[in-house]
Amino acid sequence: MSDQGEGNTQYRKQVSLANLLQRYGFSQPQLNNFLKKNTFLLYSNNTHDIEKSLCLLLSFKIPQKPLVSLIYDCPAVLDYEFLNKWQVGFSKFGVCVSPVAIRNVLECSTRFKVVDPDGFCKTVEVFKGLGFSDATVNKVVEGFPCVVLLSESELYRKVGFLVKFGFPKDGVDRVLSSFPGVLGFGIEARLKPLLDEFRDLGFSRNVIRNEIIREPKILGMELSELSRCLELFRTLKCREPIKERIFIHGEFRAGVEVKLRVDCLCNHGLIRREAFKILWKEPRVILYDLKDIEKKIEFLVNQMKLDVNCLVDVPEYLGVNFEKQIVPRYNVIEYLRSKDALDYEVTLREMIKLSRLRFYNFFVKPYPECENLFGRFSDIIVRKQTVGLWKLFKPEKQPDNEDDSKAMRSFMESLG
């Protein structure tokens, strides 16, 4: 009987805890997995203590999704004494810490027991002592929460390295705000060899510094990565106007643009060799904005239901206009499919590589209802056949009259 009573008590605790967590944003699948993995919550804490901890977490104004992920990944954060200690610590800081930064610090503190409010306060004081704004401190902690694990001397050395290279104060501020992960790189192992490589490629300190300030993610490049990007241009075959637009801001920036697009394609599942092949076959991709490339890939995968690997065979898809070419052609093909008007499966290659005129003649002209889907066709100029010289020198035909007919008959009779 005692075992049965204990089982009923545990069940009631589980139901009570599940209801509580559900009120704070947990979904049913998350609840099931969370309670299975963290049965200690049913034994070491009562629901009242957990609710106090949740109320304290809410007081930090952490958004619901990041809050749920914090509790799910780090259930130790529900310790009320732990949270109370950090609440007191945050109130003493001379910086208004953002909710996302608080969430990251709490996660870091539960994972690495060496992080406490005093240690975090010292990190903040170092940044304030170096003249960084509250906004920069928050962005650093939001983007690289492990900064709280670095010692004061490490922070001084890494910021000092950037200053020594010639970065102005606002330049260092921008680098740390946009790419705080740079603080996790070693100077001798990563940063110095990378900048030395840029110099060996023939770029001046001024060019390197200006480009890094414009795009701080350059410091996240692997060694020899820029060299590989620049090699692409040596065998690049494209029209001269496209090449001029690629190099309009210099070779360094062109190489960085290649790197960013290679990263974008790799993030969607392609390997680096395939990404470089796409850029080599379709250089116009380098000119398109990253958001535009993302939009095209998202449309390809989610709307067209095609695999991203088909871009290796049809890289032209990324080099054409999304609104003017991809969407109208897709709408026409989908309409014809819905009407069973196609005798065969139209591939991505046919959809993209056909000229506008040929696509119109094949898929739009025979079906007038597709005109609106395809858009206006007035911008296509159909060249007329050049008039032959024989037409230009052909004499005008004169109208026949009765006198001419009589004269012709009498002439023919005289020959007979």
The span from the CA of 312 to the CA of 310, in Å, is 5
What was the pLDDT predicted at 163?
92
pLDDT in tens, 179-192: 999 999 999 999 99
What was the pLDDT predicted at 244?
92
Task: Give 89 or 9, the one with higher predicted confidence.
Answer: 89
Number of CB atoms found within 10 A of residue 146's CB? 16
The span from the CA of 407 to the CA of 317, in Å, is 72
Give the residue from 329, 326, 262 showing the smallest Cα distance to 290: 262
What was the pLDDT predicted at 343?
81
What was the pLDDT predicted at 400?
63
Average pLDDT of the residues in 300-307 = 93
Q: Calculate Rg over the CA atoms of the chain.
A: 35
pLDDT in tens, 76-98: 888 888 888 888 888 776 668 88
pLDDT category at 373 given cuts 50, 70, 90 is confident
- Who's near 193: CB < 8 A, 6+ residues apart? 223
Give the residue from 306, 273, 308 showing the smallest Cα distance to 294: 308
Whether the per-residue pLDDT at 378 is higher than 60: the answer is no
- Dihedral sign computed on CA atoms, order 30, 31, 36, 42: positive
The torsion of the CA quartet 36, 40, 43, 46, rounded to 10 degrees, works out to: -90
pLDDT category at 411 given cuts 50, 70, 90 is low
What was the pLDDT predicted at 304?
92
What was the pLDDT predicted at 182?
93
Give the residue from 141, 106, 143 showing the smallest Cα distance to 124: 141
Task: Give 245 or 344, the one with higher predicted confidence.
Answer: 245
Long-range contacts of 190-195 (CB under 8 A, 24+ apart): 191/158, 191/161, 191/219, 192/161, 193/223, 194/219, 194/221, 194/223, 195/165
Instruction: Calculate the average pLDDT of the chain.
Output: 85
Q: For 11, which DSSP code? A: H
What was the pLDDT predicted at 381?
41
- Weakest mean pLDDT among 287-291, 320-324, 365-369, 406-410: 406-410
pLDDT in tens, 331-343: 999 999 988 888 8
Whether the per-residue pLDDT at 208 is higher than 90: the answer is yes
pLDDT category at 160 given cuts 50, 70, 90 is very high
pLDDT category at 245 given cuts 50, 70, 90 is very high
pLDDT in tens, 188-205: 999 999 999 999 999 999
What was the pLDDT predicted at 316?
93
The span from the CA of 31 to the CA of 223, in Å, is 44
pLDDT in tens, 261-274: 999 999 999 999 99
What was the pLDDT predicted at 5?
47
Q: What is the pTM of this model?
A: 0.73
